[in-house]
Chains A and B, each alone.
Chain A
Amino acid sequence: MPHDHNDSQAPGTISPSGHPYRPDDDRPLTYWQNMEIAVRELLVEKGYITALQIQNQIDTMDARSPTNGANVVARAWTDPEFKAALMNDAAQATRDMGFDIGPMHLIAVENSDMVHNVVVCTLCSCYPRNLLGLPPDWYKSRAYRSRAVIEPRKVLTEFGLVLSENVQVRVHDSTADMRYIVIPSQPEASKGLPVPDLVKWVTRDSMIGVGKAHAPT
């Protein structure tokens, strides 16, 4: 497995096994980190919520992953009735599949030969967390959030996705109450496979719209 060696590392800061030392993360807490701890501890001390409830909520969020969305997409590829329900009300359709997405409002947008959808939140980092789990770090970066609406094709090229001029790019800016999931086009080579196999073709990036569904590697 390759490692990230830092060539600018000063001599003498290499471990005996030849690895550069990574600096310890010894920064003090920020103002808002302190504030979050203070409010959380107050809520627990005053009995509004328990530490166990907080831990359970963290566990619930950590258990959500792109695999949930991949199951939704694979079913949409193979079940026209579900697909129609998903396009009509994606939140209700995913709830009916058994996913606990809380109060999230969800819209599914479908890629085709003529249209490619990509999702961004220019104002903050809105993401369908209640279905797909936490967003990737780049999704929250200022570079992605600003460039996705200004030069989406260039951004997609950097993700390795080059689109024909004939394909319309639709950038969905999650400005308010809705969250979005892209239904990527089903690759020809995957047609006819059973759903449990199809799930492996659906990547997180393909559901954000910065990639395509592809054969499992």
Chain B
Amino acid sequence: MKVRVHNNWPPGHVRTPGYLRGKTGEIERKIGLFSNPEQNAYRHAPEQRELLRVRFKMSEVWGANAENPNDVIEAEIYSHWLEAV
């Protein structure tokens, strides 16, 4: 399933790396529910959010500058940062 990472730049303890925001990838696996770090870091009662591993092609992340377009980056992204494409 294809997903796009929100291209948002909120302040706070965000575990979505900047270089992947706005990028599209494939869900590699679903890991389960975890406490939302954006709340947890500030001792707010954290909501449980689904965490997914998303696989991005280097060509998608770095465009024409990709070192090797078929290599991939895999990262854990919380569901509230993803939208179906």
Q: Which residues of chain A come closer than 8 Å to B53, judged between CB atoms?
A: 178
B19 near A176: Cβ-Cβ < 8 Å: no
B77 near A149: Cβ-Cβ < 8 Å: no
- Size of the A side of the interface (Cβ < 8 Å), in residues, is 21
How distant is A115 from chain B, measured CB to nearest CB, in Å? Answer: 9
Please report which residues of chain B, range 41-84, place their CB below 8 angstroms from some CB of chain A when the two chains form the complex: 51, 53, 55, 61-62, 67-68, 70-78
B76 near A177: Cβ-Cβ < 8 Å: yes
Q: Which residues of chain A come closer than 8 Å to B51, judged between CB atoms?
A: 176-178
B34 near A165: Cβ-Cβ < 8 Å: no
Q: Which residues of chain A come closer than 8 Å to B15, judged between CB atoms?
A: 123, 175-176
- Size of the B side of the interface (Cβ < 8 Å), in residues, is 23
Instruction: Given the known inter-chain contacts A123-B17, A149-B19, A175-B76, please indicate yes or no for A169 contacting B71, CB distance below 8 A.
Output: yes
A152 to B77, CA, bound (A): 21
A174 to B17, CA, bound (A): 10
A123 to B15, CA, bound (A): 7
Contacting residue for A178 out of B37, B55, B76, CB 8 A? B76
How distant is B67 from chain A, measured CB to nearest CB, in Å? Answer: 5
Q: Which residues of chain A come closer than 8 Å to B76, judged between CB atoms?
A: 173-178
Instruction: Given the known inter-chain contacts A176-B15, A176-B78, A177-B31, please indicate yes or no for A151 contacting B72, CB distance below 8 A.
Output: no
A173 near B74: Cβ-Cβ < 8 Å: yes
A149 near B73: Cβ-Cβ < 8 Å: yes
Q: Which residues of chain B come closer than 8 Å to A172, judged between CB atoms?
A: 73-75
Q: List 8 other contacts, CB 8 Å, given A149-B61, A168-B70, A169-B71.
A: A122-B17, A149-B73, A153-B68, A168-B71, A172-B75, A175-B16, A176-B76, A177-B34
